[in-house]
Amino acid sequence: MPRFHCPLPLHADAQLDLPAGAARHVQVLRLQPGAVIELFGGAGGQWQAEILEMGRSHVSVRVLQHQAVERELHRPVHLIAGITANERMDWLVEKATELGAASLTPLLAERSVLKLKGERADKKREHWQAVAVAACEQCGRNRVPLVHPALTLAQWLQAHPVEQDAPGTQRAVLSLAPGCQPLAQVLAKEAGPVVLLSGPEGGLSPAEEALALQAGFAPVTLGPRILRAETAPLAALALLGAL
């Protein structure tokens, strides 16, 4: 059944016009009045809805019953990922959403090739948020991961002192340093949220890695191969999904 993100107040029997993006999509699919679609607001659960009318630029629907369907990971995973160049970052946002990341903070790493500032940074954030929404429409997630504004590691750490972490939280940094323990082993120890830090193409700088360790990030390995900046956090999410 076609699914659309519809961030409007939804309740049974409500009649409403779909937001512009969803309406366009319904028109492209040439759906007809009477067709049933699925709507989700982004903060949990989904609704069936029947198309009532297709106008030139609007599509009106009647909301049917609510379904309390959840497709989240057992442990929420908050990803802080080094910004990678060009469309690799879009790919990372899409796949991280499919694999269940609860939120994503693009990291302005010392070695990030893409330097984002001001209006361009806002535009990129909006773009990545839209990529996450489209991935939720596709994969059936009813909670849209929040894409936060891009931050340096120092800025993120300042805003998130370790003593304010929710109980049972584990912080881990994907590290290439020798002698790290495997991610699955380290992260099997608690049941709360996971904050996962990974580097850009050029890796985290020694200063960033030291800062992370000081702030309670346990260094973990994904094995002896050097994975690309977008592969590493996705492999970690897949492993965490299986815990």
List residues binding ligand SAH (CB under 6 A). 174-176, 198-199, 202-204, 221-223, 225-227, 229, 232
Q: 134 or 213, CB closer to ligand SAH? A: 213
Give min distance, CB of 220 to ligand SAH, in A. Answer: 7
Give min distance, CB of 70 to ligand SAH, in A. Answer: 29
- Estimate to the nearest angstrom the gap between the alpha carbon of 134 and the chain centroid: 11
Give the burial string for 104-114 (b: 16+ CB within 10 Å, else e).
Answer: bbbbbbbebeb
Q: 103 or 198, CB closer to ligand SAH? A: 198
Instruction: Give the amino acid at 65.
Output: Q
Q: 113 or 130, CB closer to ligand SAH? A: 113
Give min distance, CB of 82 to ligand SAH, in A. Answer: 6
Cα distances (Å, whole numbers) of residue 140 to 26, 58, 225: 17, 24, 32
Closest residue to bound ligand SAH by CB: 199
CA pseudo-torsion sign 231, 237, 238, 243 = positive
Burial of 77 (0-12, 13-18, 19+ CB in 10 A): buried
Q: 69 or 154, CB closer to ligand SAH? A: 154
* Residues 22, 38: Cα–Cα separation, whole Å: 11
- Estimate to the nearest angstrom the gap between the alpha carbon of 61 and the chain centroid: 28
Give min distance, CB of 54 to ligand SAH, in A. Answer: 47
Give min distance, CB of 234 to ligand SAH, in A. Answer: 10
Q: 8 or 238, CB closer to ligand SAH? A: 238
* Residues 150, 126: Cα–Cα separation, whole Å: 11
